[in-house]
Amino acid sequence: MFVQRMKTQWGSCNPASGAIRLNTDLAKKPPECLEYIVVHEMVHLLEPTHNARFASLMSLFLPQWQQLREMLNRLPVRHEDWRY
Protein backbone atom coordinates (compact mmCIF):
# COMPACT_ATOMS: atom_id res chain seq x y z
CA MET A 1 0.00 0.00 0.00
CA PHE A 2 1.33 3.43 -0.88
CA VAL A 3 0.10 7.01 -1.07
CA GLN A 4 0.35 9.42 -3.99
CA ARG A 5 -1.39 12.48 -5.39
CA MET A 6 -4.18 11.46 -7.72
CA LYS A 7 -6.36 13.79 -9.78
CA THR A 8 -9.50 11.72 -10.34
CA GLN A 9 -9.51 8.74 -7.95
CA TRP A 10 -9.58 8.19 -4.21
CA GLY A 11 -7.65 4.95 -4.59
CA SER A 12 -6.81 2.08 -6.89
CA CYS A 13 -5.93 -1.57 -6.64
CA ASN A 14 -4.00 -3.96 -8.85
CA PRO A 15 -5.29 -7.40 -7.78
CA ALA A 16 -2.55 -9.21 -9.71
CA SER A 17 0.28 -7.52 -7.81
CA GLY A 18 -1.65 -6.69 -4.64
CA ALA A 19 -0.63 -3.04 -4.94
CA ILE A 20 -3.02 -0.50 -3.44
CA ARG A 21 -2.62 3.24 -4.01
CA LEU A 22 -4.37 5.84 -1.87
CA ASN A 23 -4.90 9.49 -2.78
CA THR A 24 -2.99 11.91 -0.53
CA ASP A 25 -6.10 14.12 -0.44
CA LEU A 26 -7.79 11.50 1.77
CA ALA A 27 -5.78 13.05 4.62
CA LYS A 28 -8.13 16.06 4.38
CA LYS A 29 -11.30 13.96 4.53
CA PRO A 30 -13.12 12.49 7.53
CA PRO A 31 -11.33 9.36 8.88
CA GLU A 32 -14.29 7.14 8.05
CA CYS A 33 -13.84 8.07 4.38
CA LEU A 34 -10.26 6.78 4.50
CA GLU A 35 -11.55 3.59 6.12
CA TYR A 36 -14.09 3.18 3.32
CA ILE A 37 -11.45 3.56 0.59
CA VAL A 38 -9.02 1.17 2.30
CA VAL A 39 -11.73 -1.49 2.69
CA HIS A 40 -12.96 -0.86 -0.88
CA GLU A 41 -9.49 -1.38 -2.34
CA MET A 42 -8.79 -4.41 -0.15
CA VAL A 43 -12.06 -6.02 -1.27
CA HIS A 44 -10.77 -5.64 -4.84
CA LEU A 45 -8.05 -8.13 -3.86
CA LEU A 46 -10.86 -10.66 -3.37
CA GLU A 47 -13.17 -9.45 -6.15
CA PRO A 48 -11.68 -7.32 -8.95
CA THR A 49 -14.98 -6.03 -10.37
CA HIS A 50 -17.87 -4.04 -8.91
CA ASN A 51 -20.38 -6.88 -9.07
CA ALA A 52 -22.87 -8.38 -6.59
CA ARG A 53 -20.11 -10.35 -4.83
CA PHE A 54 -18.11 -7.16 -4.39
CA ALA A 55 -21.12 -5.41 -2.81
CA SER A 56 -21.74 -8.40 -0.56
CA LEU A 57 -18.13 -8.41 0.64
CA MET A 58 -18.27 -4.66 1.26
CA SER A 59 -21.41 -5.16 3.38
CA LEU A 60 -19.68 -7.92 5.32
CA PHE A 61 -16.55 -5.88 6.13
CA LEU A 62 -18.07 -2.38 6.33
CA PRO A 63 -21.87 -2.47 6.74
CA GLN A 64 -22.26 1.32 6.34
CA TRP A 65 -20.17 1.44 3.16
CA GLN A 66 -22.95 2.86 0.96
CA GLN A 67 -23.48 5.85 3.25
CA LEU A 68 -19.73 6.47 3.40
CA ARG A 69 -19.49 6.26 -0.39
CA GLU A 70 -22.26 8.86 -0.72
CA MET A 71 -20.51 11.14 1.77
CA LEU A 72 -17.18 10.84 -0.03
CA ASN A 73 -18.73 11.36 -3.47
CA ARG A 74 -20.13 14.70 -2.32
CA LEU A 75 -16.59 15.91 -1.55
CA PRO A 76 -14.10 17.17 -4.17
CA VAL A 77 -11.30 14.75 -5.03
CA ARG A 78 -8.52 17.36 -5.06
CA HIS A 79 -7.79 19.64 -2.13
CA GLU A 80 -5.52 22.40 -3.42
CA ASP A 81 -5.03 24.29 -0.14
CA TRP A 82 -2.78 22.23 2.16
CA ARG A 83 -2.32 24.90 4.86
CA TYR A 84 -3.45 24.01 8.37
Q: List the CATH number of the domain containing 11.
A: 3.30.2010.10
Residue whose C-alpha is closest to residue 41's, from 84, 30, 26: 26
Read off the pLDDT of residues 6-54 as tens digits, 9 standing for 90 and up. Answer: 888 899 999 999 999 999 999 989 999 999 999 999 999 999 999 999 9
Indicate whether 81 belongs to any domain: no
The residues near 18 (Cβ < 8 Å, ≥ 6 apart) are 45
How many structural domains compose the chain?
1
pTM of the complete model beyond 0.75: yes
Indicate whether 51 belongs to any domain: yes
Pairing state between β 11-14 and 2-4: unpaired
Indicate whether 78 belongs to any domain: no
pLDDT at 81 over 60: no
Spatial contact of 20 and 10, defined as CB atoms under 8 Å apart: no
> CA 65 from chain center: how many Å?
10
Indicate whether 11 belongs to any domain: yes
Rounded to whole angstroms, the Cα distance separating 45 from 40 reads 9
* Residue 39 belongs to domain spanning: 2-73
pLDDT at 83 over 70: no
User: Residue 80: pLDDT band by 50, 70, 90 thresholds?
Assistant: low
Indicate whether 27 belongs to any domain: yes
pLDDT at res. 84: 45
